[in-house]
Structure 1
Amino acid sequence: MFYLTRKEQFNSAHKLYNPNWSREKNEEVFGPCANENWHGHNFDLFITVKGKPDPDTGFVMNAKDLGAIIKDKIIEKLDHKNLNLEVDFLKDKLCSVETIAFGIWNEMEKCLPENVQMHCVRLHETQKIYVEYFGE
């Protein structure tokens, strides 16, 4: 099995806020990330797919095609957007980095050629915090 990773970047705003909790509870749990006026991140996104190389090209998948899918299906939806309000696959969800990575996985999985599988979504929210999702 071979693994191909493509890195992209996007910038977005969000807030962490559970509507079932009081403002005080949200601030206690999420701190400044519960700011009513939102906050932003410069996200680094790594999408890794896996498969067997095509005998004619030697590719698991053409990296250019992978990049086009990521840009069209993910980056266009997330870049310079408010994740809580403007992104269809995050609507009515708590926009933690975990939830965002899960949503990206689900969007990507629908768009890959049948001989290619998702392996990992790695999403860096900051230089110190990132998540990796390998599917369920």
Structure 2
Amino acid sequence: MIFITRRETFNAAHQLYNPHWSKEKNLEVFGLCSNIHGHNWELYVTVKGEINEETGFVMDLKDLSKIMKQEIVNKVDHTFLNTDVEFLKGKLPSTEVFAVEIWKILQPIIPNYCHGQLHCIKLVETANHFVEYFG
């Protein structure tokens, strides 16, 4: 078994704010992140599988890049995640929730392009904060 990873980047804003709470409660729980703010996000997608003897690949990284851009990056780049992104509608777009929703989109698609499977989503919000999700 071998693991390959592709990285893509995008910019997007979000607000960690629970509408059922007061402004004070949101500020207490989320701090300054209860205000609208943006990040330069990094998305890492790791696929695991066996090496195809004909190509030497687990998966063609050009295909993985295309899938990541088409299914995720193009839908979230330069948006306000709370309201502009269909797959996040009605959800509080924490990095954790965002990573899980990305997994739900990519997990059924990846096997159509290789004999491997999705292993991990790593979503970097800041240099000091990232999430890894393994399904």
Gaps of 5+ in 2: none
Instruction: Tell me the C-alpha RMSD between the 2 structures.
Output: 0.9
Structure 1 equivalent of residue 4 of structure 2: 4
Task: Name the amino acid aligned to 2:68.
Answer: I
The TM-score with structure 1 as length reference comes to 0.94
Per the TM alignment, residue 90 of structure 1 is displaced from its structure 2 partner at its CA by: 0.6
Structure 1 equivalent of residue 130 of structure 2: 130
Q: What is the aligned length?
A: 133
Gaps of 5+ in 1: none
The TM-score with structure 2 as length reference comes to 0.95
Per the TM alignment, residue 116 of structure 1 is displaced from its structure 2 partner at its CA by: 2.0
Identity of aligned residues (%): 53
Partner residue of 1:54 out of 52, 55, 79 = 52
Output aligned runs, 1:1-136, within 5 Å: 1-35=1-35, 38-114=36-112, 115-135=115-135
Task: Name the amino acid aligned to 2:110.
Answer: L
Q: Helix, strand or coil for the counterpart of 2:118?
A: strand
Task: Select between 43-52 and 112-121 the one with higher mean Cα deviation.
Answer: 112-121
Query: What per-residue deviation string (whole Å, max 9, x for no partner) do you get for residues 28-48 of structure 1?
Result: 00011111xx11000011110
Per the TM alignment, residue 110 of structure 1 is displaced from its structure 2 partner at its CA by: 2.5
Per the TM alignment, residue 58 of structure 1 is displaced from its structure 2 partner at its CA by: 1.2
